[in-house]
């Protein structure tokens, strides 16, 4: 399917009840169980809701990933990804990340014992040299916000894999229309949907990320 068609039809299943070609907004907190402990696949809206599921499937299809997960903001998605790490883990980050991402790493996760090293990831040699110590993950944007710095996603992915590390890419400034980091070897992709994914500056706190199942299986 071409991406133009995918943006309309990806993840969008026809509503079984009415035949609606667009996904209805399910405004319910709780879903009735068919019998004790048996449900339709939906139980409680915080964990899963059909409207959100359609959005998650769409971003999964657009990024060609295994799973998609929607959050209330880009920072919520980033915080969730960083929560995968444990006390004592180290991450390698680009020196040109979005300020909010840097702040949550430096001011919040560092207090929880997740340490970081910051380097210029636009030079692959810097990335290679940094791996003289172990890192659980490399976190980059390409292009970066706001300086539009470029890093070689495929090259960094190769180095990360050689060292048993994963690559997280914030793809906010490109969207899957122009760049698909998972196909270049990244393991996790994050978006702030308020930017080019939404496209019209009329979408608040709408964000998702798509990830390879390696992390979530
Ligand atoms: C590259 C990038 N990542 C993440 C974020 C954070 O996203 P949000 O504002 O949706 O929390 C932003 C916001 O400007 C951003 O530009």
User: Domain residues of the chain, as ranges?
Assistant: 1-63, 68-215
* Ligand 1 centroid to residue 197 C-alpha, Å: 11
Pocket test for ligand 1, best of 194, 196, 199, 203 (most atoms within 8 A of CB): 194
Pocket test for ligand 1, best of 59, 94, 100, 139 (most atoms within 8 A of CB): 100
| 112 within 8 A of 129, measured Cβ to Cβ | no
Out of 98, 116, 135, 209, which one is annotated catalytic?
98
* Ligand 1 centroid to residue 199 C-alpha, Å: 14
H-only helix segments in the chain: 3-9, 50-63, 74-82, 99-103, 124-130, 153-162, 175-178
**Cis peptide leading into 60, omega within 30 of 0?**
no
* Ligand 1 centroid to residue 20 C-alpha, Å: 33
Of 108, 57, 55, nearest in space to 79 by CA: 108
pLDDT in tens, 55-103: 899 989 999 998 899 888 899 999 999 999 999 999 999 999 999 999 9
**Could you list the pLDDT tens digit for every one of the 217 residues in the chain?**
899 998 888 877 788 889 998 888 999 999 999 999 999 999 999 999 998 898 899 989 999 998 899 888 899 999 999 999 999 999 999 999 999 999 999 999 999 999 999 999 999 999 999 999 999 999 999 999 999 999 999 999 999 999 999 999 999 999 999 999 999 999 999 999 888 888 777 665 455 555 554 444 3
| Strand, coil or helix: 37 | coil
pTM: 0.93
Q: Counting atoms of ligand 1 from 1, which one is nearest the CA of 193?
A: 10
Indicate if the alpha-carbon torsion angle 214, 215, 216, 217 is positive or negative.
positive
Residue 151 dihedral angles phi and psi, to the nearest 5°: -120, 155
Q: What angle do CA 127, 128, 133 make, to 5 degrees?
A: 90
- The ligand 1 site (C-beta within 6 Å) comprises 73-75, 98, 100-101, 141, 145, 170, 172, 192, 194-195, 207
How far apart, in whole angstroms, are the C-alpha atoms of residue 35 and residue 204? Answer: 38
Active-site residue flag, 195? yes
Active-site residue flag, 46? yes
Domain range 68-215, CATH class: alpha beta
**How many Cα neighbours within 13 Å face the side chain of 88?**
0
**Residue closest by Cα to atom 9 of ligand 1:** 74
Active-site residue flag, 135? no
């Amino acid at each position: 399917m071409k991406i133009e068609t995918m943006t309309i039809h990806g993840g969008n299943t026809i509503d079984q009840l009415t035949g609606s070609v667009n996904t209805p907004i399910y405004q319910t907190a709780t879903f009735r169980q068919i019998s004790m402990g048996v449900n339709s696949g939906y139980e409680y809206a915080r964990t899963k809701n059909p409207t959100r599921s359609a959005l998650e499937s769409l971003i999964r299809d657009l990024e060609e990933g295994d799973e998609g997960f929607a959050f209330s903001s880009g920072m919520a998605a980033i915080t969730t990804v960083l929560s995968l790490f444990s006390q004592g883990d180290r991450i390698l980050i680009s020196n040109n990340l979005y300020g909010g991402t840097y702040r949550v790493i430096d001011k919040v996760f560092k207090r929880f014992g997740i340490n970081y090293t910051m380097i210029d990831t636009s030079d692959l040699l810097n990335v290679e040299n940094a791996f003289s110590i172990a890192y659980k993950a490399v976190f980059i944007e390409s292009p970066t916000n706001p300086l539009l710095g470029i890093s070689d996603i495929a090259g960094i992915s190769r180095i990360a894999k050689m060292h048993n590390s994963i690559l997280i890419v914030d793809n906010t400034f490109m969207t899957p229309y122009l760049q698909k980091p998972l196909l270049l070897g990244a393991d996790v992709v994050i978006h702030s949907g308020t930017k080019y994914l939404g496209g019209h500056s009329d979408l608040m706190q709408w964000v998702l990320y798509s990830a390879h199942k390696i992390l979530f299986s």
